[in-house]
Every structure is written in structure tokens, then in C-alpha cells.
Amino acid sequence: MNAPQILDNALDAVGNTPLIRLDRIAQQEGLKCNLLAKVEYTSAGGSVKDRIAKAMVLAAERDGKLIPGKSVVIEPTSGNTGIGLAMACAIKGYAVIITMPNKMSLEKEALLRALGAEVVRTPDSAAWDSPESHIGVAQKLQREIPYGIILDQYRNVNNPLAHEFTTGPEIIEAVANTPSTSARPSTQKVDVFIGGAGTGGTISGISRALKKSHNSNCHVVGVDPVGSILALPSKLNNAGEGSAYVVEGIGYDFVPDVLSREPGVVDSWVKTTDAEAFPAVQRIMRSEGLLVGGSSGAALAGALKWLKSEEGRPFAEAKGKNVVVLLADGIRNYMSKDWFLDMTMHAEARPLASVISQVLASKSETPALSVVRPNL
């Protein structure tokens, strides 16, 4: 491992996230493969989207599209790309406006404002091509505000390229450099990669990195929420098409340009529901100690569903096969959401809570501690 060095700014702390074994979940599921998680909330801005924000800003500067002291960066986003852009622009000195649907968490808006961005909320019901959508509002602002520029994560080639040149190689390096042992056998290749799709840049870029330079037979699986239309074949989207889903950061009602439809980039798709995603978040936290967000739960739920399928079972049952799941962000951005509060503050009491209550209810020199919330 390289010796730690002083970094010039927070952008130098983007990426270089850990690959962590999910051994407890693998054991619970009876998996013989290595189940590995690429944990992106350790990046400076808290998510996988830091990578594309940094790449898009630096590329726009090189191309002369950003003018110091004048440019106003405007971006429609579900929040995490906005946070990455606001962080980058705070360092670089550009003004930022983020347009974001109402369903996205209050924490995301608060973080954006903390970083100096202006935030405009848009109706959840607005179709992507409506003037009222977060995309339509961003376009209007760009037309009217002098020096306004939309870096456009949905079309910007630096979105998938950021993952082809950073995320993918990091995964390859970690897997290839971890020795195979009798206790922990490994092919030392990435045999399967599984990730959620929002813009699709993440899964497209990582797939290209894995298949071009590492393992052409790597099987790439996209996870798409029910209600979204990104999965292929399109008949997978028929059930629940257009229905609302609570999970943030994945799924769309249109296919972004950066999501590759080339054969062999994404080999398989799995649909997941909120009812599968949010319990998986709790499972990751309590089994593996990783404080992940909702789309990470969807990714794990999709991974386990695929590994139990006819297509995925040969990988699940093979010792030494490496299955990597991308966990896109952390719980920081969702702690006021109903699904998280239901999971934590409003959960049923666990057995240990009654033991604590009994102990504190007995005669004690500290009667002030006799009341315990049953759900903590």
C-alpha cells in the first residue's frame, strides 16, 4: 500500500473506494462464490456520482466550456450527481443550480445548499420531457441565465468514461491483487458485476473496463426498479410500468444516452421493488456493518435474486468465483425518509430491549434510567 500523502483538495479524495467481502450474507444465502461489495459512500462527496461530477467539470474546463467567475453550472439530478458537482464547483469557484424532483430526500437538498448550490424542486409526476420536469426546468434556466451550462450527465461521455477509467480498474486491481488461498479461493478475476442503473453510465463504463481489459466473459447484470423502463428485454418492464417507486437514484421513464444498448455490455437485467430494496438495506447494515442507502439495497436484492436464477446459479455455486455488487451511496442522505424511520425508530422491540427494561425497572441506585425506548 502506498504511504498516505497530503491531498491538494477534496477532489483528490474522490474514488479509491474499498472492495469489501459480504461473507455473512453469502453464508446466510448458502453462496459458495465470493460476494464482494464496491462501497462508494467512502468517496469524498458520499456516492459513486462524485466520479462523474469530477470528470465532467475537469473535461469542461479543458474544453473551455467553463469560464472562471462567469459560468453557472445547472444540472438536473436525483441528488447525488448534484452533490458531487456542488462539491467540485465549490472548490473551483463556479455557481451551481440543481433541479431535483420533490421525492428526493431533504438531506440531499440540505447538503446541496450547504455546499453553496441553489436548489429547485420539481413535481414527481412530470414526465422527463415535460417543461415542468427537473430536466425541463434546468433547460429553461440554462436558456435564460447568462453563462449557464448544463454538463448533462444523461448524455455526457465523461459519465461512463469516469467509470471505465476509475471504478472499473479499481475493482480489477483489488480482485487481481488479492491472492487465492485454500481458505479463500479466488479466480482472481471479476466473474460477475451487478449494479443498479440510473443514467446507466456507471454500469456501462464499468462493464467496458471489465470486458475490454480484464475478463471478456464477465457477466454484467443491471438492476432496475419496477416502474422504470431501463431493463431489457422491454417485456421485463411491463409489470408495473410507470408506477411510482420510493427508492432514489436508479430507474427512469426514458433511456439516457449514456446507458449502452450495445449487445454484451449489460448481459442480464433484474427488476426489484421497494419491498425488496429496503429490507436489504437493513440486512447490509446489521450483517455487514455498512451504512448504505436504498439503491444499494436494491442492488443487493437484485444480486441475490439473479444468483438464485437458472442463469446465476452456476456462479453462486462455484467456489472462487467473484461476484461484485456496487453499493452506490450511504444512508446519510436518507435518514429522514419514512422507510428508514420505520426500519429504525418505529421498529418492533427486540428481545434485548425487554431485558434492558427489566434491569432498569428493578431497584437501583439510578432510578432516572428506568425508562427505555422499546425500539432502540
Q: Are 39 and 17 in contact (CB under 8 A)?
A: yes
How far from chain centre, in Å, is Cα 3? 29
Instruction: Give the H/E segment covering residue 189.
Output: none
Q: What angle do CA 229, 235, 240 make, to 5 degrees?
A: 55
Catalytic hit among 49, 54, 271, 337: 49
Q: Which of 129, 107, 112 is nearest to 74 (CA)?
A: 112
Residue 189 designated active-site: no
| Helix, strand, coil distribution of the chain in percent, nearest 5 | 40, 15, 45
Instruction: State yes or no: cis peptide before 233, omega within 30 of 0.
Output: yes
Burial class (CB within 10 angstroms; exposed 0-12, middle 13-18, buried 19+) of 120 = middle
Task: Show the beta-strand stretches assigned E in the chain.
Answer: 19-21, 34-39, 72-76, 95-101, 118-122, 148-150, 192-196, 219-225, 268-272, 322-327
Residues acting as catalytic residues: 49
